[in-house]
A = this chain, B = another copy of it.
Amino acid sequence: MTSSLARKLEELVGRGKVFSSDSELLCYSYDATPLVSHRPEAVVRVTSEQDIAAVLELAAQEGLPVTPRGSGTGLSGGSVPVKGGIVLLTTAMNRIIEIDADDLSVTVEPGVITADLHAAVEELGLFYPPDPGSMKISTIGGNVAENAGGLRGLKYGITGDYLLSLDLFLIDGSKVHYGTKCVKDVAGYNLTKFLAGSEGTIGFFSKIVLKLIPKPRTKKTFLALYDDILDAARTVSALIARRIIPSTLELMDSVTINCVEDHVHIGLPRDVAALLLIETDGHPEVVKEEAAGIEAACTASRVRTLRIAKDAKESEELFTARRNALTSLARVKPTTILEDVTVPRPRIPEMMETIREAAAKFSLRIGTFGHAGDGNLHPTCLTDERDRDEIHRVEQAYDMIFQRAISLGGTISGEHGTGITKSKYLPQLVGPKAIEVMKRIKAAFDPEGRLNPGKIFPEPME
Protein backbone atom coordinates (compact mmCIF):
# COMPACT_ATOMS: atom_id res chain seq x y z
CA MET A 1 0.00 0.00 0.00
CA THR A 2 1.50 3.29 -1.04
CA SER A 3 -0.08 6.41 0.36
CA SER A 4 -0.49 9.52 -1.72
CA LEU A 5 2.20 11.21 0.41
CA ALA A 6 4.60 8.33 -0.24
CA ARG A 7 3.95 8.58 -3.98
CA LYS A 8 4.67 12.29 -3.97
CA LEU A 9 7.88 11.68 -2.02
CA GLU A 10 8.96 8.96 -4.43
CA GLU A 11 8.45 11.36 -7.32
CA LEU A 12 10.83 13.76 -5.60
CA VAL A 13 13.61 11.47 -4.38
CA GLY A 14 13.17 8.31 -6.45
CA ARG A 15 12.20 4.75 -5.61
CA GLY A 16 13.78 2.73 -2.84
CA LYS A 17 14.15 5.69 -0.50
CA VAL A 18 10.58 6.03 0.74
CA PHE A 19 9.00 3.64 3.25
CA SER A 20 5.32 3.61 4.05
CA SER A 21 4.17 0.06 4.65
CA ASP A 22 2.62 -0.74 8.02
CA SER A 23 5.63 -2.71 9.19
CA GLU A 24 8.04 -0.01 8.03
CA LEU A 25 6.09 2.73 9.75
CA LEU A 26 6.03 0.61 12.91
CA CYS A 27 9.84 0.31 12.78
CA TYR A 28 10.21 4.08 12.76
CA SER A 29 7.56 4.75 15.38
CA TYR A 30 9.97 4.36 18.31
CA ASP A 31 13.61 4.75 19.28
CA ALA A 32 15.53 3.29 22.25
CA THR A 33 13.26 5.11 24.72
CA PRO A 34 10.56 3.00 26.40
CA LEU A 35 6.90 4.03 26.62
CA VAL A 36 6.92 6.52 23.76
CA SER A 37 5.98 5.71 20.19
CA HIS A 38 4.01 7.23 17.32
CA ARG A 39 3.81 6.25 13.69
CA PRO A 40 4.95 8.64 10.99
CA GLU A 41 3.03 8.93 7.72
CA ALA A 42 6.13 8.23 5.67
CA VAL A 43 9.86 7.67 6.08
CA VAL A 44 12.44 8.99 3.63
CA ARG A 45 16.03 7.81 3.58
CA VAL A 46 17.67 10.79 1.91
CA THR A 47 20.88 10.35 -0.03
CA SER A 48 21.70 13.94 -0.98
CA GLU A 49 21.17 17.56 -0.09
CA GLN A 50 18.79 17.79 -3.03
CA ASP A 51 16.66 15.08 -1.42
CA ILE A 52 16.60 16.93 1.89
CA ALA A 53 15.55 20.23 0.30
CA ALA A 54 12.88 18.52 -1.83
CA VAL A 55 11.33 16.67 1.12
CA LEU A 56 11.34 19.78 3.31
CA GLU A 57 9.71 21.83 0.57
CA LEU A 58 6.98 19.25 0.12
CA ALA A 59 6.45 19.11 3.89
CA ALA A 60 6.14 22.90 3.89
CA GLN A 61 3.52 22.82 1.16
CA GLU A 62 1.53 20.16 2.97
CA GLY A 63 2.09 21.62 6.43
CA LEU A 64 3.55 18.32 7.68
CA PRO A 65 5.84 17.74 10.68
CA VAL A 66 9.33 16.45 9.92
CA THR A 67 11.37 14.43 12.41
CA PRO A 68 15.09 13.82 11.76
CA ARG A 69 16.39 10.39 12.70
CA GLY A 70 19.77 8.66 12.69
CA SER A 71 20.03 5.14 14.08
CA GLY A 72 17.26 5.65 16.61
CA THR A 73 19.44 4.94 19.65
CA GLY A 74 18.21 8.03 21.52
CA LEU A 75 17.09 7.66 25.13
CA SER A 76 14.76 10.64 25.54
CA GLY A 77 12.43 10.03 22.59
CA GLY A 78 14.14 12.63 20.41
CA SER A 79 13.53 10.82 17.13
CA VAL A 80 9.99 9.62 17.84
CA PRO A 81 7.60 11.37 15.41
CA VAL A 82 5.03 12.19 18.06
CA LYS A 83 3.01 14.39 15.71
CA GLY A 84 3.26 12.04 12.71
CA GLY A 85 4.38 13.47 9.39
CA ILE A 86 7.65 12.55 7.74
CA VAL A 87 10.66 10.86 9.32
CA LEU A 88 13.84 12.03 7.58
CA LEU A 89 16.52 9.33 7.87
CA THR A 90 20.20 10.28 7.71
CA THR A 91 21.58 6.74 7.63
CA ALA A 92 22.27 6.62 3.90
CA MET A 93 24.28 9.86 4.04
CA ASN A 94 27.23 8.15 5.68
CA ARG A 95 30.35 9.29 3.89
CA ILE A 96 33.47 10.43 5.68
CA ILE A 97 34.12 13.29 3.29
CA GLU A 98 37.59 14.30 4.43
CA ILE A 99 40.05 13.60 7.22
CA ASP A 100 42.30 16.65 7.31
CA ALA A 101 45.34 15.30 9.15
CA ASP A 102 47.25 18.54 8.49
CA ASP A 103 44.63 20.66 10.22
CA LEU A 104 43.20 18.10 12.67
CA SER A 105 39.60 18.00 11.50
CA VAL A 106 37.20 15.56 9.92
CA THR A 107 34.24 16.35 7.66
CA VAL A 108 31.38 13.86 7.62
CA GLU A 109 27.83 13.38 6.51
CA PRO A 110 25.36 13.02 9.38
CA GLY A 111 24.76 9.28 8.98
CA VAL A 112 28.34 8.17 9.70
CA ILE A 113 28.42 5.63 12.55
CA THR A 114 30.37 7.00 15.54
CA ALA A 115 32.60 3.91 15.86
CA ASP A 116 33.40 4.01 12.13
CA LEU A 117 34.63 7.55 12.59
CA HIS A 118 36.78 6.45 15.55
CA ALA A 119 38.35 3.68 13.48
CA ALA A 120 39.00 5.89 10.45
CA VAL A 121 40.78 8.67 12.34
CA GLU A 122 42.68 6.36 14.69
CA GLU A 123 44.34 4.73 11.68
CA LEU A 124 46.03 8.09 11.12
CA GLY A 125 47.10 8.48 14.75
CA LEU A 126 44.23 10.87 15.41
CA PHE A 127 41.45 10.73 17.98
CA TYR A 128 37.79 11.69 18.17
CA PRO A 129 37.05 11.23 21.88
CA PRO A 130 33.23 11.26 22.28
CA ASP A 131 32.17 7.63 22.77
CA PRO A 132 28.48 7.34 23.70
CA GLY A 133 27.38 3.90 24.88
CA SER A 134 25.61 3.35 21.56
CA MET A 135 28.67 4.29 19.48
CA LYS A 136 28.67 1.08 17.44
CA ILE A 137 25.21 1.98 16.12
CA SER A 138 24.68 5.69 16.75
CA THR A 139 25.29 8.31 14.07
CA ILE A 140 27.36 11.47 14.31
CA GLY A 141 24.29 13.50 13.31
CA GLY A 142 22.40 12.06 16.26
CA ASN A 143 25.40 12.60 18.54
CA VAL A 144 25.51 16.29 17.58
CA ALA A 145 21.74 16.68 17.90
CA GLU A 146 21.80 15.24 21.43
CA ASN A 147 25.26 16.60 22.33
CA ALA A 148 26.14 13.03 23.26
CA GLY A 149 28.66 12.25 25.97
CA GLY A 150 30.27 8.93 26.74
CA LEU A 151 32.86 7.23 28.89
CA ARG A 152 35.67 9.59 27.92
CA GLY A 153 33.75 12.80 28.69
CA LEU A 154 35.48 13.54 31.98
CA LYS A 155 38.89 14.10 30.46
CA TYR A 156 37.99 14.89 26.86
CA GLY A 157 34.56 16.57 26.88
CA ILE A 158 31.48 15.77 24.83
CA THR A 159 30.35 15.99 21.22
CA GLY A 160 29.72 19.75 21.22
CA ASP A 161 33.29 20.37 22.36
CA TYR A 162 34.52 18.92 19.04
CA LEU A 163 31.99 20.61 16.76
CA LEU A 164 33.58 23.16 14.39
CA SER A 165 31.09 23.68 11.61
CA LEU A 166 27.68 22.57 10.39
CA ASP A 167 25.70 22.68 7.18
CA LEU A 168 22.03 22.40 7.97
CA PHE A 169 18.66 22.73 6.36
CA LEU A 170 16.00 24.80 8.06
CA ILE A 171 12.40 23.64 8.03
CA ASP A 172 11.62 25.86 5.02
CA GLY A 173 14.19 23.93 2.92
CA SER A 174 16.81 26.68 2.91
CA LYS A 175 20.40 25.73 3.63
CA VAL A 176 22.56 27.48 6.21
CA HIS A 177 26.23 27.07 6.95
CA TYR A 178 27.74 27.92 10.35
CA GLY A 179 31.32 27.89 11.48
CA THR A 180 34.56 27.13 9.68
CA LYS A 181 37.30 24.54 10.03
CA CYS A 182 39.09 27.08 12.21
CA VAL A 183 39.29 26.12 15.88
CA LYS A 184 38.87 29.81 16.69
CA ASP A 185 35.92 31.47 15.00
CA VAL A 186 33.92 34.10 16.87
CA ALA A 187 32.23 35.80 13.91
CA GLY A 188 28.56 36.44 14.64
CA TYR A 189 26.58 34.40 17.13
CA ASN A 190 27.92 31.01 18.15
CA LEU A 191 25.18 29.03 16.40
CA THR A 192 27.38 26.01 15.85
CA LYS A 193 27.75 25.36 19.56
CA PHE A 194 24.08 26.21 20.09
CA LEU A 195 23.12 23.48 17.61
CA ALA A 196 24.93 20.84 19.67
CA GLY A 197 22.09 19.52 21.78
CA SER A 198 19.30 21.15 19.77
CA GLU A 199 17.66 17.72 19.56
CA GLY A 200 16.68 17.90 15.90
CA THR A 201 14.32 20.81 16.53
CA ILE A 202 16.31 23.56 14.79
CA GLY A 203 17.63 22.10 11.55
CA PHE A 204 18.53 18.96 9.65
CA PHE A 205 22.32 18.55 9.48
CA SER A 206 23.80 17.69 6.10
CA LYS A 207 27.51 18.14 6.80
CA ILE A 208 29.45 18.19 10.06
CA VAL A 209 33.05 19.24 10.70
CA LEU A 210 34.64 17.94 13.89
CA LYS A 211 37.91 18.73 15.58
CA LEU A 212 40.41 15.92 16.10
CA ILE A 213 43.27 15.57 18.56
CA PRO A 214 46.34 13.31 18.60
CA LYS A 215 45.60 9.77 19.72
CA PRO A 216 46.79 9.02 23.27
CA ARG A 217 49.86 6.81 23.16
CA THR A 218 48.90 4.28 25.80
CA LYS A 219 46.42 3.56 28.57
CA LYS A 220 45.94 1.53 31.74
CA THR A 221 42.68 0.12 33.08
CA PHE A 222 41.58 -0.66 36.63
CA LEU A 223 38.54 -2.35 38.10
CA ALA A 224 37.97 -1.44 41.73
CA LEU A 225 35.48 -3.38 43.85
CA TYR A 226 34.01 -1.86 47.01
CA ASP A 227 32.08 -3.09 50.04
CA ASP A 228 30.45 0.31 50.43
CA ILE A 229 29.28 2.53 47.58
CA LEU A 230 30.34 5.58 49.59
CA ASP A 231 33.92 4.36 49.34
CA ALA A 232 33.58 4.36 45.55
CA ALA A 233 32.30 7.95 45.73
CA ARG A 234 35.21 8.80 48.03
CA THR A 235 37.61 7.47 45.42
CA VAL A 236 36.17 9.91 42.86
CA SER A 237 36.80 12.80 45.26
CA ALA A 238 40.25 11.46 46.17
CA LEU A 239 41.28 11.35 42.51
CA ILE A 240 40.18 14.93 41.92
CA ALA A 241 41.97 16.01 45.10
CA ARG A 242 45.12 14.43 43.63
CA ARG A 243 44.48 16.41 40.42
CA ILE A 244 44.09 13.20 38.44
CA ILE A 245 41.51 13.37 35.64
CA PRO A 246 41.11 9.80 34.39
CA SER A 247 39.97 9.24 30.83
CA THR A 248 37.27 6.92 32.22
CA LEU A 249 35.77 6.86 35.70
CA GLU A 250 32.64 4.73 35.68
CA LEU A 251 30.46 3.50 38.54
CA MET A 252 28.21 0.46 38.84
CA ASP A 253 26.09 -0.40 41.88
CA SER A 254 25.34 -3.88 43.25
CA VAL A 255 22.04 -4.27 41.38
CA THR A 256 23.83 -3.62 38.11
CA ILE A 257 26.81 -5.82 39.04
CA ASN A 258 24.52 -8.76 39.81
CA CYS A 259 22.56 -8.36 36.58
CA VAL A 260 25.83 -8.22 34.64
CA GLU A 261 27.09 -11.34 36.40
CA ASP A 262 23.80 -13.14 35.66
CA HIS A 263 24.19 -12.25 32.03
CA VAL A 264 27.86 -12.47 31.10
CA HIS A 265 29.44 -14.50 33.98
CA ILE A 266 32.70 -12.65 34.29
CA GLY A 267 33.34 -13.62 37.89
CA LEU A 268 32.34 -10.42 39.68
CA PRO A 269 31.73 -11.11 43.39
CA ARG A 270 28.00 -11.04 44.10
CA ASP A 271 28.40 -9.29 47.41
CA VAL A 272 30.25 -6.13 46.39
CA ALA A 273 28.37 -2.90 46.85
CA ALA A 274 29.86 -1.04 43.90
CA LEU A 275 32.63 -1.04 41.36
CA LEU A 276 34.59 1.66 39.59
CA LEU A 277 36.08 1.19 36.15
CA ILE A 278 39.01 3.59 35.89
CA GLU A 279 41.26 4.26 32.93
CA THR A 280 44.15 6.67 32.50
CA ASP A 281 45.57 7.39 29.06
CA GLY A 282 48.28 9.46 27.41
CA HIS A 283 52.07 9.44 27.52
CA PRO A 284 53.49 6.24 29.13
CA GLU A 285 55.11 8.18 31.98
CA VAL A 286 51.89 10.06 32.74
CA VAL A 287 49.95 6.82 32.68
CA LYS A 288 52.49 5.18 34.99
CA GLU A 289 52.33 8.05 37.46
CA GLU A 290 48.55 8.40 37.35
CA ALA A 291 48.23 4.64 37.75
CA ALA A 292 50.18 4.88 41.01
CA GLY A 293 47.88 7.72 42.08
CA ILE A 294 44.79 5.69 41.20
CA GLU A 295 46.06 2.75 43.26
CA ALA A 296 46.77 5.03 46.19
CA ALA A 297 43.36 6.74 45.96
CA CYS A 298 41.54 3.40 45.80
CA THR A 299 43.51 1.99 48.71
CA ALA A 300 42.91 5.08 50.83
CA SER A 301 39.19 4.75 50.05
CA ARG A 302 39.10 1.13 51.35
CA VAL A 303 38.80 -0.68 48.04
CA ARG A 304 38.20 -4.43 48.55
CA THR A 305 39.90 -5.60 45.37
CA LEU A 306 41.75 -3.67 42.70
CA ARG A 307 42.26 -5.45 39.41
CA ILE A 308 44.81 -3.94 37.05
CA ALA A 309 44.84 -4.87 33.39
CA LYS A 310 48.27 -6.06 32.25
CA ASP A 311 47.58 -5.52 28.58
CA ALA A 312 45.01 -4.40 26.03
CA LYS A 313 43.21 -7.76 26.17
CA GLU A 314 42.79 -7.61 29.95
CA SER A 315 41.75 -3.99 29.63
CA GLU A 316 38.95 -5.04 27.28
CA GLU A 317 37.92 -7.72 29.80
CA LEU A 318 37.65 -5.13 32.56
CA PHE A 319 35.48 -3.00 30.30
CA THR A 320 33.15 -5.96 29.70
CA ALA A 321 31.19 -5.35 32.88
CA ARG A 322 30.55 -1.70 32.09
CA ARG A 323 29.83 -2.23 28.41
CA ASN A 324 27.23 -4.86 29.33
CA ALA A 325 25.57 -2.85 32.08
CA LEU A 326 22.53 -1.65 30.15
CA THR A 327 22.05 -4.87 28.16
CA SER A 328 22.28 -6.93 31.34
CA LEU A 329 19.77 -4.76 33.19
CA ALA A 330 17.47 -4.80 30.16
CA ARG A 331 17.30 -8.63 30.20
CA VAL A 332 15.72 -8.84 33.63
CA LYS A 333 12.29 -7.41 32.98
CA PRO A 334 10.30 -6.52 29.84
CA THR A 335 10.78 -2.77 30.20
CA THR A 336 13.95 -0.88 31.09
CA ILE A 337 13.66 2.80 31.92
CA LEU A 338 17.05 4.45 31.97
CA GLU A 339 17.54 7.94 33.35
CA ASP A 340 20.34 10.43 33.14
CA VAL A 341 20.62 12.74 36.16
CA THR A 342 23.82 14.64 36.77
CA VAL A 343 24.99 16.28 40.00
CA PRO A 344 28.14 18.11 41.03
CA ARG A 345 30.66 15.37 41.79
CA PRO A 346 30.80 15.90 45.56
CA ARG A 347 27.02 15.30 45.70
CA ILE A 348 27.17 11.79 44.20
CA PRO A 349 26.71 10.06 47.61
CA GLU A 350 23.53 12.06 48.29
CA MET A 351 22.20 11.32 44.83
CA MET A 352 22.93 7.60 45.19
CA GLU A 353 21.18 7.62 48.55
CA THR A 354 18.09 9.26 47.06
CA ILE A 355 17.98 6.68 44.27
CA ARG A 356 18.16 3.91 46.88
CA GLU A 357 15.40 5.55 48.92
CA ALA A 358 13.20 6.02 45.86
CA ALA A 359 13.57 2.35 44.92
CA ALA A 360 12.65 1.29 48.46
CA LYS A 361 9.77 3.75 48.86
CA PHE A 362 8.10 2.76 45.60
CA SER A 363 9.05 -0.95 45.73
CA LEU A 364 11.08 -0.86 42.54
CA ARG A 365 14.26 -2.47 41.32
CA ILE A 366 16.64 0.26 40.23
CA GLY A 367 20.19 -0.42 39.10
CA THR A 368 22.51 2.55 38.82
CA PHE A 369 25.59 2.90 36.70
CA GLY A 370 27.14 5.84 34.97
CA HIS A 371 29.90 8.35 34.55
CA ALA A 372 30.85 9.03 38.17
CA GLY A 373 33.70 11.27 37.09
CA ASP A 374 31.17 13.68 35.59
CA GLY A 375 28.55 13.19 38.32
CA ASN A 376 26.36 11.71 35.53
CA LEU A 377 24.36 8.71 36.80
CA HIS A 378 21.97 6.40 34.99
CA PRO A 379 19.44 5.05 37.50
CA THR A 380 17.78 2.28 35.53
CA CYS A 381 14.41 0.90 36.53
CA LEU A 382 13.60 -2.70 35.65
CA THR A 383 9.88 -2.83 35.11
CA ASP A 384 7.04 -3.90 32.85
CA GLU A 385 5.10 -1.34 30.89
CA ARG A 386 1.98 -3.52 30.99
CA ASP A 387 1.86 -3.11 34.78
CA ARG A 388 0.22 0.31 34.95
CA ASP A 389 0.47 0.50 38.71
CA GLU A 390 4.19 -0.19 38.70
CA ILE A 391 4.74 2.30 35.87
CA HIS A 392 2.96 4.91 37.95
CA ARG A 393 5.34 4.15 40.83
CA VAL A 394 8.29 4.38 38.43
CA GLU A 395 7.13 7.87 37.50
CA GLN A 396 6.88 8.84 41.16
CA ALA A 397 10.34 7.46 41.86
CA TYR A 398 11.91 9.36 38.98
CA ASP A 399 10.06 12.46 40.08
CA MET A 400 11.72 12.15 43.48
CA ILE A 401 15.11 11.53 41.82
CA PHE A 402 14.82 14.51 39.44
CA GLN A 403 13.69 16.85 42.23
CA ARG A 404 16.68 15.80 44.28
CA ALA A 405 19.11 16.23 41.35
CA ILE A 406 17.80 19.76 40.79
CA SER A 407 18.00 20.63 44.48
CA LEU A 408 21.60 19.39 44.61
CA GLY A 409 22.54 21.85 41.85
CA GLY A 410 22.42 19.12 39.23
CA THR A 411 20.54 18.67 36.00
CA ILE A 412 17.86 16.42 34.53
CA SER A 413 20.03 15.24 31.67
CA GLY A 414 23.77 14.84 31.34
CA GLU A 415 23.84 13.34 27.89
CA HIS A 416 20.51 11.97 26.66
CA GLY A 417 18.69 15.23 26.04
CA THR A 418 15.31 16.49 27.18
CA GLY A 419 13.22 15.04 24.38
CA ILE A 420 9.78 13.89 25.42
CA THR A 421 10.62 12.10 28.61
CA LYS A 422 12.17 14.94 30.57
CA SER A 423 10.37 17.95 29.18
CA LYS A 424 8.09 18.21 32.20
CA TYR A 425 11.10 18.83 34.48
CA LEU A 426 12.74 21.47 32.29
CA PRO A 427 10.70 24.48 33.52
CA GLN A 428 11.65 23.71 37.10
CA LEU A 429 15.32 23.41 36.18
CA VAL A 430 15.67 26.56 34.09
CA GLY A 431 12.67 28.66 35.14
CA PRO A 432 9.76 30.07 33.13
CA LYS A 433 11.73 32.96 31.62
CA ALA A 434 14.33 30.62 30.11
CA ILE A 435 11.57 28.41 28.70
CA GLU A 436 9.98 31.49 27.13
CA VAL A 437 13.29 32.51 25.56
CA MET A 438 13.99 28.98 24.32
CA LYS A 439 10.55 28.86 22.71
CA ARG A 440 11.16 32.20 21.04
CA ILE A 441 14.46 30.91 19.64
CA LYS A 442 12.72 27.78 18.40
CA ALA A 443 10.13 29.98 16.70
CA ALA A 444 12.88 32.09 15.12
CA PHE A 445 14.05 29.00 13.23
CA ASP A 446 10.75 27.18 12.85
CA PRO A 447 7.78 29.55 13.11
CA GLU A 448 5.19 26.84 12.45
CA GLY A 449 6.75 24.38 14.89
CA ARG A 450 6.95 21.61 12.30
CA LEU A 451 10.52 20.40 12.88
CA ASN A 452 10.55 17.59 15.42
CA PRO A 453 7.52 18.93 17.28
CA GLY A 454 6.59 17.89 20.81
CA LYS A 455 10.18 17.83 22.08
CA ILE A 456 12.01 19.77 24.81
CA PHE A 457 9.04 21.93 25.80
CA PRO A 458 6.41 20.56 28.15
CA GLU A 459 3.51 22.02 26.16
CA PRO A 460 3.06 22.07 22.41
CA MET A 461 4.42 25.22 20.82
CA GLU A 462 1.92 28.02 20.49
Bound CA–CA A129/B317 (angstroms) = 37
| Chain A interface residue bracket vs B | 35 or more
Tell me if A176 counts as interface (CB < 8 A to partner B). yes
A125, A146, A343, A430 interface centre (most CB from chain B within 10 Å):
A430
Knowing A194-B190, A285-B283, say if A414 contacts B184 (CB, 8 Å): yes
Residues of B within 8 A of A27 (CB): none
Tell me if A269 counts as interface (CB < 8 A to partner B). no
Tell me if A456 counts as interface (CB < 8 A to partner B). yes
Tell me if A411 counts as interface (CB < 8 A to partner B). yes
User: Is A190 touching B186 in the complex (CB atoms < 8 A)?
Assistant: no
Tell me if A187 counts as interface (CB < 8 A to partner B). yes
This chain's copy number in the assembly: 2
User: Is B198 touching A190 in the complex (CB atoms < 8 A)?
Assistant: yes
Tell me if A440 counts as interface (CB < 8 A to partner B). yes
Bound CA–CA A388/B215 (angstroms) = 53
User: Is A161 touching B161 in the complex (CB atoms < 8 A)?
Assistant: yes
Bound CA–CA A231/B140 (angstroms) = 37
Tell me if A174 counts as interface (CB < 8 A to partner B). yes
User: Is A182 touching B343 in the complex (CB atoms < 8 A)?
Assistant: yes
Residues of B within 8 A of A342 (CB): 180, 182, 184-185
10 contacts between A and B (CB under 8 A): A103-B345, A103-B375, A149-B186, A158-B184, A176-B433, A180-B344, A187-B413, A187-B425, A286-B286, A441-B444
User: Is B285 touching A188 in the complex (CB atoms < 8 A)?
Assistant: no
Tell me if A213 counts as interface (CB < 8 A to partner B). yes
Q: Which residue of B lies closest to A190 (CB)?
A: B197
User: Is B283 touching A188 in the complex (CB atoms < 8 A)?
Assistant: no
Knowing A160-B190, A176-B434, A431-B177, say if A184 contacts B125 (CB, 8 Å): no
Residues of B within 8 A of A170 (CB): 433, 437
User: Is B184 touching A409 in the complex (CB atoms < 8 A)?
Assistant: no
Tell me if A14 counts as interface (CB < 8 A to partner B). no
Tell me if A346 counts as interface (CB < 8 A to partner B). yes
Tell me if A422 counts as interface (CB < 8 A to partner B). yes
- Residue among B174, B175, B182, B416 making CB contact with A375, cutoff 8 Å: B182
User: Is B344 touching A182 in the complex (CB atoms < 8 A)?
Assistant: yes
Tell me if A137 counts as interface (CB < 8 A to partner B). no
Tell me if A64 counts as interface (CB < 8 A to partner B). no
Question: In A268-286, which residues have CB < 8 Å from any B CB?
Answer: 282-286
Residues of B within 8 A of A188 (CB): 418, 426, 429-430, 434-435, 438, 456
Question: In A423-462, which residues have CB < 8 Å from any B CB?
Answer: 425-426, 429-431, 433-435, 437-438, 440-445, 456
User: Is B182 touching A237 in the complex (CB atoms < 8 A)?
Assistant: no
Bound CA–CA A215/B344 (angstroms) = 21
User: Is A191 touching B189 in the complex (CB atoms < 8 A)?
Assistant: no
Bound CA–CA A100/B375 (angstroms) = 15
User: Is A414 touching B186 in the complex (CB atoms < 8 A)?
Assistant: yes
User: Is B345 touching A438 in the complex (CB atoms < 8 A)?
Assistant: no
Bound CA–CA A409/B183 (angstroms) = 12
Q: Which residue of B lies closest to A125 (CB)?
A: B243
Question: In A92-108, which residues have CB < 8 Å from any B CB?
Answer: 100-105
- Residue among B182, B193, B416, B437 making CB contact with A186, cutoff 8 Å: B416
Bound CA–CA A186/B374 (angstroms) = 13
User: Is B344 touching A190 in the complex (CB atoms < 8 A)?
Assistant: no
Tell me if A43 counts as interface (CB < 8 A to partner B). no
- Residue among B180, B286, B412 making CB contact with A409, cutoff 8 Å: B180
